[in-house]
Amino acid sequence: MDLKIRVVKITGNCPVYQEGDQFLIKNGYQLTSQIPLCMHALSALIPFYNALRFAEPGDIGLAGKEKNKAYVQCPDAVEFTAGGTAIFEISMIRSDK
């Protein structure tokens, strides 16, 4: 299973992402992107990407209104850093191999 990660909301001034940006994790470990990636944002995704290959988002407390999508947020403390934070929607893509 592959994961599609899409930026759904930016708060503050994120110097890397714009809403709608997306990238993939293929085969559980291959990070592929046509855009630059932020190491701070990846730190928010790393604890969950492998679990989401095997568990439903609601089972690990990451589901929103759409139970088949997970949501995580990068850790930037916007009001203190004058930076920005991104909220990511993670969708599971089942591949036929």
Give per-residue pLDDT as tens, 36-55: 999 988 999 999 988 988 88
Say if residue 95's pLDDT is above 80: no
Say if residue 81's pLDDT is above 60: yes
H or E element in which residue 80 lies: helix 78-81
Domain parsing of the chain, residue ranges: 2-93
Mean of the per-residue pLDDT values of the chain: 90
Closest CA to 4 of 30, 27, 22: 22
Query: Which pLDDT score is estimated for 36?
Result: 95
